[in-house]
Chain A
Amino acid sequence: MAAVVEVEHLRKAYGSVLAVDDVSLVIEQGEIFGLLGPNGAGKTTTVECVEGLRRPDQGRIRVLGLDPARQTRELRQRIGCQLQQAALPDRIKVWEALDLFASLAPQQVHWSATLDQWGLEDKRGAAFSSLSGGEQQRLFVALALGNQPQVVFLDELTQGLDPAARRVAWDLVRAVRDRGATVVLVTHFMDEAQQLCDRVAVVHRGRVAAVDTPQGLINRYGGGVRVVFSAPAGADVGWLDRTPHVSRVARHGPRLEVTGEGPLLAHIGAGLIAHGMEPADLRVEQPTLEDVFLHITQPSSSSGAQP
């Protein structure tokens, strides 16, 4: 796999405010790479430096082998950007925007196909200001894909979309990747990163706190699997401590919470049957990216967080 985006020791301050402290990243061809972090973590600034919209104070950036600060023009022809804060003139019509942006692409682009793909065919003649938030967002993505870019940057893609539209957007992002483009996704939605991304960088306070696949991050920072069930107050559960893979047992009133690693549920299930217990509410809680995120960004309060 070839590196499509390389960022080394990026630093960017706005006056006295340090937006990006020290970010290094390698994004490989054909992956959906997520930048996950709380608001103000430096995600958008990082991406804007990579897109060539901002000039970094320090650090080296290469996108498709080009320097965004110097070879901006060549780069823009080959990347597509959906920006977090952007707009079009109120009275521009959807087709006019697509037509204009298509004329900027180096190759012939048939924008009517894009219109269908993003469910905007009914809105062809609608003014930008009359579109709903979700429709505007879809139009921006359609514009970002207009030049058939090799790398697509999507900043808060599903902001303002309803749940159904989010699913559609996710499928389209996968479709974009399947056509061979690399996708860089900036988001603060955990479920989006977990569902969509091949690899995720957790950005915190202007630095990359961790990079891995969502599952890798969960294994490393998720704090293990939790098995939860109810047991009567007097029941003997001492055997739980001796069950393989169990690391901790805690009782919250009638509810027992067993923390551990690996095939915890199977072993507990077997133990329960062996001890004549058949709790109806036995369930397993897998850690999510949200646990990882909380663990990294607020290490003290990482336990007990569930979506």
Chain B
Amino acid sequence: MRPAAFAKLTWLEMKLFLREPLAVGFTVAYPVVVMFVIAGVFENSGGVGFRGAGGAEYYVVSNIAVVTAAIGLIALPPHVASYFERGIMRRFRASSVPVAGVIAAQLAVCFAVAIVAAAVLLAVARPVYTYHFPHSLPGVVLGFVVGLIGFLALGLLIAALFPTTRSAQSVGMVLFFPMYLISGAAPPLSVLPSAMRHVADFDPMNYAVRALQDPWFGFGVTATNLVVLLGIAIVSGAGAALLFRRR
């Protein structure tokens, strides 16, 4: 595929994304609403539970990870699955657009949307809540990118494993909400019962939340978070590639 054609395809995918109210709502609006509600409730709390940050600040930062998870688990799987299910991939393949090219364009859109959604979240929170500039900006950017890659790969694996649009969408939702509740972006991890905290060790969103919190609040860049997220990305990505190739 020539670069000009790929650029055109990516721009088209971007427009298609913007015409999908559910996808836009979940990735851009939903994290903002959740952030406002919870940050509003805990605005004046602070201390150990919120890792030394203020309550509002804690939720502003954590919800950036929710943005990446919503894109990977809710927006991406039904979109990719529908392309296979409805014969859109076949149509593209027959006109010299490889499957990998279509998926690459979709991932590029997801990246752009994630950056915009995170910027929107920070921008609308600015006049309402106080939050500090990240301790380590490169660390935050790294955590954001690695977390996003992990969720996008997971989303592709869902689309590959559940080939109908409907099932890919349901599975994405079913994974998203429990993951969210014990990720630390809902109740802080420190208030979870110990059993639930053990389950949270297996929650990818937990690692994505901490990959942002740690460098933002001054706990440095934690290798564990990044390694786990990259591991998820590699395993899911390879699995999805294998399954897509067999179609």
Known: A100-B9, A100-B12, A103-B5. A88 touches B91 (CB 8 A): yes
**Closest residue of chain A to B4, judged by CB?**
A103
Say yes or no: is A53 at the interface (Cβ < 8 Å to chain B): yes
Most B CB within 10 A of own CB, among A87, A143, A146: A87
Say yes or no: is A92 at the interface (Cβ < 8 Å to chain B): yes
Give the CA-CA distance A261 to B20 in the complex, in Å.
64
Give the CA-CA distance A89 to B80 in the complex, in Å.
11
Within 8 A of B (CB), among A62-95: 73, 76-77, 81, 83, 85-89, 91-92
Contacting B88 at CB < 8 Å: which of A76, A87, A101, A143?
A87
CB <8 Å contact, B95 and A86: no
Give the Cβ gap from B5 to chain A, nearest Cβ, in Å.
5
Say yes or no: is B195 at the interface (Cβ < 8 Å to chain A): no
Say yes or no: is A31 at the interface (Cβ < 8 Å to chain B): no
CB <8 Å contact, A83 and B16: no
Say yes or no: is B126 at the interface (Cβ < 8 Å to chain A): no
Give the Cβ gap from B77 to chain A, nearest Cβ, in Å.
15
Contacting A85 at CB < 8 Å: which of B2, B15, B87?
B87
CB <8 Å contact, B94 and A51: yes
Known: A73-B96, A76-B96. A86 touches B15 (CB 8 A): no
Contacting B86 at CB < 8 Å: which of A87, A91, A101?
A87
**Closest residue of chain A to B20, judged by CB?**
A91
Classify chain B's interface size.
20 to 34
CB <8 Å contact, A86 and B5: no
- What residues on A are CB-neighbors of B96 within 8 Å? 73, 76-77, 104
Count of chain A residues with Cβ under 8 Å from any Cβ of B?
Answer: 24
Give the Cβ gap from B233 to chain A, nearest Cβ, in Å.
26
Say yes or no: is A99 at the interface (Cβ < 8 Å to chain B): yes
**Closest residue of chain B to A77, judged by CB?**
B96
Say yes or no: is B245 at the interface (Cβ < 8 Å to chain A): no
CB <8 Å contact, B93 and A53: yes
CB <8 Å contact, A86 and B88: yes
Please, what's the 1-or-0 string for A15-58, where 1 marks a CB less than 8 Å from any CB in chain B? Answer: 00000000000000000000000000000000000010100000
- What residues on B are CB-neighbors of A88 within 8 Å? 88, 91
CB <8 Å contact, A83 and B87: yes
Say yes or no: is B29 at the interface (Cβ < 8 Å to chain A): no
- What residues on B are CB-neighbors of A77 within 8 Å? 96
Give the Cβ gap from B224 to chain A, nearest Cβ, in Å.
39
CB <8 Å contact, B87 and A87: yes
Say yes or no: is B8 at the interface (Cβ < 8 Å to chain A): yes
Give the CA-CA distance A259 to B8 in the complex, in Å.
63
Say yes or no: is A96 at the interface (Cβ < 8 Å to chain B): yes
- What residues on A are CB-neighbors of B8 within 8 Å? 99-100, 103
CB <8 Å contact, A91 and B19: yes
Give the CA-CA distance A127 to B156 in the complex, in Å.
26
**Closest residue of chain B to A76, judged by CB?**
B96
**Closest residue of chain B to A127, judged by CB?**
B19
Known: A89-B82, A104-B95. 6 other contacts (CB 8 A): A76-B95, A76-B96, A83-B90, A85-B90, A100-B12, A147-B95
Spell out A's residues near B (CB within 8 Å): 51, 53, 73, 76-77, 81, 83, 85-89, 91-92, 96, 99-101, 103-104, 140, 143, 146-147
